[in-house]
Amino acid sequence: MHYHSTRGTEFINFDTAIQSGLAPDGGLYVPEKFPKLDVKALAQASYPVMTEALLKPFFQNSAIESQLSDICHQAFNFPTPITALNAHTPLLELFHGPTLAFKDYGARFLAECMNRLAKQKTTLMIATSGDTGSAVASAFHGKENIQVVILYPQGKISDRQAHQINCWGDNILALAVNGTFDDCQALVKAAFHDPNWQAYTHLSTANSINIGRLLPQMSYYALGSLYYWHHYGANARFVVPSGNLGNVTAAYWAREIGCPIAEIVVATNANSVVPDYLRTGEYQPRASVATLANAMDVGHPSNFERLQYLFKNYDTFKKNMSAFAVSDAEITATIKDIYQRYNQVICPHTATACFVRNQLSDEPWIVVSTAHASKFEQVIEPMLNITLPIPDALNRLLTKPQHFIPLEADEKIIFNTVKRYFDAL
């Protein structure tokens, strides 16, 4: 299997694609083809075994091809239950990993691959405004060939989110930057262009454009579609809460490789660039606005380019996707309604998909549930006037001591701090 950029035709293998993240021409890596697999034959397989079977063709020519089974077993050592909100609304629960959000799937798989591929000590730099940081920190903690630097804006993420980034230590360095998320991102970008960094270490990143995060996400769509086939005897319908469109890109790729999927619908929050595009035909990225579903606050979704590459033109795009924007008021009403009706607490991201589901047909729709509600207690608790129990997995992280270094948003200070920390390790 070869990969190439959405903007070019130069072929590379899987290993280069995941080690470089973004293509040199600024595009995103995509597989050269999607082999058709007999997905229904995997109905009885365990999650790691199913993932291995689905990803096998994508690992052809990789130096770690023979380790794919180990990689899948190490990465996916937690359950992926499918529950039901009601008889025609199954919930695909993607929040049973160590940091309770679906980003654990991509981050854990990427960590297993990158650690095995690293020929020299590799430093990952990540700017985060919340969820990605904790998933990446958890996934890479203790990986001997990788050191991770996480920059987050001090005081601008919740205490619980900060704690989940600060609780690791060892090869995970948490930097609490006196600045904004944009400052953190600018510092990461600057490092990639700085000869001091190049001389010191091999720099890489682990953000959601990395194809090593997207490919394994096809697997839970396989699981969901097989469940749907088994229970309803038809091709599956999914509603996917979306921001950067990585999760939903994996859904379309899953359909490409033969998962029995009929329809995929995108739910966004008030950041409505995708619904607006489908309505008007004009793609107009813009600054993001803050919403209750903050992990989806994206005004310029990076994976749009992969979808555009897949669909080729607006007409095909429109034929294959519908998208709906959901306001904060609608998110709130949905969380309250589901709590009253089903005594179930959903997270604000999942709520966008539940709201959209209610606008759709009476046919069964699988709602993709992207995070555990207890991660967003600051939104949920006052809204429902309850105290959410803290799941054991989260409690384990929140009771660990915190290690982080507060510092100014200054490139030189960051470089010296990182070097001093890892040299002393």
Ligand X SMILES: *Cc1c(COP(=O)(O)O)cnc(C)c1O
Residues that bind ligand X (CB under 6 A): 101, 103, 131, 208, 241-247, 295-296, 349, 370-371
The two tokens of residue 226 are 């097989």
**Minimal distance, residue 73 CB to ligand X, in Å:** 24
What is the DSSP code (8-state) at residue 194? -
**Minimal distance, residue 400 CB to ligand X, in Å:** 21
The residue count of the chain comes to 425
* Cα–Cα distance for residue pair 196/162, rounded to 1 Å: 28
Nearest in space to 32 (alpha carbons), one of 8, 49, 50, 48: 8
**Minimal distance, residue 8 CB to ligand X, in Å:** 24
Backbone angles phi, psi at 61, to 5 degrees: 75, 5
Nearest in space to 43 (alpha carbons), one of 357, 244, 335, 259: 259
**Minimal distance, residue 269 CB to ligand X, in Å:** 9
**Minimal distance, residue 331 CB to ligand X, in Å:** 12
**Minimal distance, residue 348 CB to ligand X, in Å:** 8
Closer to ligand X by Cβ: residue 171 or 369: 369
- Answer for the pair 226, 40: CB distance below 8 angstroms, yes or no: yes
Residue 31's DSSP bridge partners are 3
Closer to ligand X by Cβ: residue 197 or 304: 304
* Cα–Cα distance for residue pair 298/290, rounded to 1 Å: 9
Closer to ligand X by Cβ: residue 147 or 207: 207
Nearest in space to 46 (alpha carbons), one of 64, 71, 66, 72: 72
Place of tokens 């999942």: 350
Closer to ligand X by Cβ: residue 115 or 350: 350
Closer to ligand X by Cβ: residue 295 or 354: 295
* Cα–Cα distance for residue pair 226/28, rounded to 1 Å: 29
**Minimal distance, residue 247 CB to ligand X, in Å:** 4
Closer to ligand X by Cβ: residue 64 or 248: 248
Closer to ligand X by Cβ: residue 54 or 296: 296
What is the full DSSP assignment across 131-145?
HHHHHHHHHHTT-TT
- Our measurement of the distance from residue 295's CA atom to the centroid of its chain's CA atoms, rounded to an integer in Å, reads 10
